[in-house]
Amino acid sequence: MNTADNIKTLFPEGSGAERSNTGNTENKETTPLVKESYLDISHVSIEFPTQNGPFKALDRVNLKIAKGEFISLIGHSGCGKSTVLNVIAGLLQATEGGVVLESKEVNEPGPDRAVVFQNHSLLPWLTVYQNVELAVKQIFNKTKSKSEMDEWIRHNLELVQMSHALHKRPSEISGGMKQRVGIARALAMQPKVLLMDEPFGALDALTRAHLQDSLMEIQRDLNNTVVMITHDVDEAVLLSDRIVMMTNGPEATVGEVLTIGLERPRNRVALSDNSEYNHYRHEVLAFLYERQRKPDEKIS
Amino acid sequence: MKNKIVNFFETIGCSWAVPIVKLATGENPKEQGNALFQLLGLPLIAIMLFLGLWSAMAAQVNTSLGTLPGPSQVWAQTVNLYAEHQEERTKEVAFYERQEKRNAKKLEKNPDAKIKVRPYTGKPTFFDQILTSLYTVFAGFLLASIIAIPLGIACGLSDKLYTAVSPLIQIFKPISPLAWLPIVTMVVSAVYVTNDPMFEKAFITSALTVTLCSLWPTLINTAMGVTSIDKDLLNVGRVIRLRWMAQVFKIALPASLPMIFTGLRISLGIGWMVLIAAEMLAQNPGLGKFVWDEFQNGSSNSLGRIMVAVLTIGLIGFVLDWLMVTLQKFVSYDKSVAR
């Protein structure tokens, strides 16, 4: 039985999340613009010039994301997940197709699409406070007063539980804390979409679990639209409303989309014994290791 | 408090002082004594051995100016040079006193009389020459840095510019100061023509030669520093839409500061070496000229005096380097870079 059908029969559309119909499972077909799509990635292809001619990293990636939705991009390394994220961020330009956010085309980076980078990317010569301040000052210079900005910076650092280390430098705090500050900086930009590039990839398992829980709490309060890249199947199932599974590159594209209908708030311990949760995990694992097994030899 | 002192000594590169502090505060004397021997004792032993060898071997060499001076003769000359300096200072003071008295007398007789204040024209002493050298090297080094840092940042930010100027840098970098000097001298004499010169020509020639030779390490290191900035840091700037200038001053410059300082440190070292050669030939009244003059002078004291100058040059070079390392530690975020 075809797996996509399998998912549909088990969880008919609309059963779990009310936004499940925005997913575009058959990526090659052109779907008309869905009314409620907030972030619309349509027909994004990208080619990089190399010495051996152009290298096509992405091939017609289609994805429609609703407001407040939490999307995970998962796939083997080198499949172009980061490229998709960078196109949304405006850091890379698509060769074909494009990204539309709130009916405006994206063609340069901007604070409305804040990025949480994998290696935190805090400026090492600034303190925790100053790192967030740099972004806040740049973005809200005209709209907020000095004291409002100060309050806003402190508020966002409070959200990620970093108020105790405002005046420490990145070298003086742990990896998990750095990533918290990175998230605070992105949240402080009040983005329309929060883009996270393997935000917890470099952390140990326990720290990662802590941060995932923090992120879920923040998400419950703020209900941001999030696109997150991950390698971690558990993380994807635990956090996401939908998991977008990408095929192997080159010419990578969206393979399947899995809607996660688990109730929120989600608890990792309770879920670990939940058959529905385990079924979702199985689906992602089956996609990654059976249908898209990484052909190691192919790396050129 | 104690930790602060220890930290301070370690930051300024005087780790040998740390065991002394710890001993003074009553930490395990055996352990600290060992540490002190390692950090301070061993270098002192090496210096003693060197002085012994020097004194034994120098006595074997007979030159046209007598035997090669050993450490004790060199020390005697150091004292001598200091005495000369003191003498010259007293003469200078006396000269100004006489002049003042004379002028006061003139004014007494005729309040409208024009008085002249003549500067003292005694010959510069060894210590004056050290100051001249330092002044010259910093002038050249400053000029080099003012050119090299902005150009280096521009090269680091633009691949095209770097590719364009890279061959020029590679060609000019290995040129010896002695090769530059005739050209610089001719150009300075041709271009710098005023009746009331603010600087001596010899000073400008020497400083420019220092500039030409100490430009390259800073330039290359700055460019490398900027190119090797983590791309994500620059992307942070792009996401929050920093303007170009803010991108340079808030991200590119601080991020590459450790590398820039490494370059500056090498540049100052090269500048100091180049300066001595340049002063010899350009006759700028600094340490180089002192060595040259003593060499030409050829008295029985000359070799000893030259050796004083040589050691002074080394010592000052060491202090300059230490100064740059310490400065780097204070201004750059990455405390581990300069060790």
Q: Do residues B147 and B229 share a domain?
A: yes
B254 to chain A: which residues are within 8 Å by CB?
Answer: 123, 125
pLDDT single digits (tens) B273-289: 999 989 888 888 889 99
A115 to chain B: which residues are within 8 Å by CB?
Answer: 235-236, 239
The interaxial angle of helices B29-36 and B17-24, nearest 10 deg, is 160
Q: Do residues B167 and B292 share a domain?
A: yes
Residue A147 lies in a domain: no
Considering only the beta carbons, identify the residue of B239, B255, B333 that sits closest to A111.
B239
Pick the last residue of a domain from B11, B29, B58: B58
Round to whole Å and give the CA distance between A17 and A241.
Answer: 7
B240 and A134 in contact by Cβ < 8 A? yes
A123 and B251 in contact by Cβ < 8 A? yes
ipTM topping 0.95? no
Residue B93 lies in a domain: no
Residue A156 lies in a domain: no
CB contact at 8 A, A229 and A76: no
Q: Which residues, listed in sequence order, are joined to residue B198 by a DSSP beta bridge?
A: none
Alpha helices, DSSP H, located in B110-200: 126-157, 159-172, 177-191
> Residue A283 belongs to a domain with what CATH number?
3.40.50
B2 falls in which pLDDT band (50, 70, 90)? confident
Residue A203 lies in a domain: no
A124 and B239 in contact by Cβ < 8 A? no
Q: Does A89 touch chain B (CB under 8 A)?
A: yes
Q: Considering only residues 91 to 110 of chain A, which have any Cβ-Cβ distance to chain B shorter than 8 Å?
A: 91, 109-110
Q: Do residues B178 and B42 share a domain?
A: no
- Structure-token pair, residue B35: 């540490």
What residue numbers bound the domain in which A63 lies?
3-105+232-260+271-294
Residue B88 lies in a domain: no
Residue A132 lies in a domain: no
B332 to chain A: which residues are within 8 Å by CB?
Answer: 125
pLDDT single digits (tens) B235-279: 999 999 999 889 889 999 999 998 999 999 999 999 999 999 898
- Overall size of chain A counted in residues: 300
Whether A10 shows a pLDDT value over 60: the answer reads no
- Structure-token pair, residue B107: 């004014």
A110 and B236 in contact by Cβ < 8 A? no
B238 and A109 in contact by Cβ < 8 A? yes
Q: Please tell me what DSSP assigns to residue A1.
A: -
Considering only the beta carbons, identify the residue of B233, B238, B257 that sits closest to A91.
B238
Averaged pLDDT, B317-327? 92
pLDDT single digits (tens) A248-279: 878 888 888 999 988 888 998 989 889 999 99
**A195: closest CA of chain B, how far (Å):** 11
> Residue B173 belongs to a domain with what CATH number?
1.10.3720.10
| Range from A80-94, A153-167, B28-42, B311-325 carrying the lowest mean pLDDT | B28-42
Q: Do residues B167 and B49 share a domain?
A: no
pTM of the model: 0.78
Residues in CB range of B55: below 8 A, 6 or more apart:
B70, B71, B72
Which chain A residue's Cα is nearest to B241? A110
Residue B84 lies in a domain: no
pLDDT, residue A298, reads 47
Residue B14 lies in a domain: yes
Question: Three-class SS of residue B118?
Answer: coil
Averaged pLDDT, A18-33? 43
Residue A69 lies in a domain: yes
Q: Considering only residues 128 to 147 of chain A, which have any Cβ-Cβ distance to chain B shorter than 8 Å?
A: 134-135, 138-139
Residue B75 lies in a domain: no
B239 and A110 in contact by Cβ < 8 A? yes
pLDDT single digits (tens) A158-191: 988 899 999 999 988 998 999 999 999 999 999 9
Alpha-carbon separation of residue A198 from A117, A194, A237, B240, B244 (angstroms) = 7, 12, 14, 20, 28
B235 and A134 in contact by Cβ < 8 A? no
B254 and A139 in contact by Cβ < 8 A? no
pLDDT, residue B66, reads 80
Q: Do residues B212 and B310 share a domain?
A: yes
Residue A47 lies in a domain: yes
Q: Do residues B147 and B293 share a domain?
A: yes
Cis-peptide, bond into residue B258, ω within 30° of zero: no
Based on the structure, what is the number of domains in chain A?
A: 1
What residue numbers bound the domain in which B155 lies?
126-331
CB contact at 8 A, B271 and B214: yes
B334 falls in which pLDDT band (50, 70, 90)? low
B239 and A109 in contact by Cβ < 8 A? yes
Based on the structure, what is the number of domains in chain B?
A: 2
Q: Do residues B132 and B51 share a domain?
A: no
Q: Please tell me what DSSP assigns to residue A252.
A: B
Averaged pLDDT, B173-180? 87
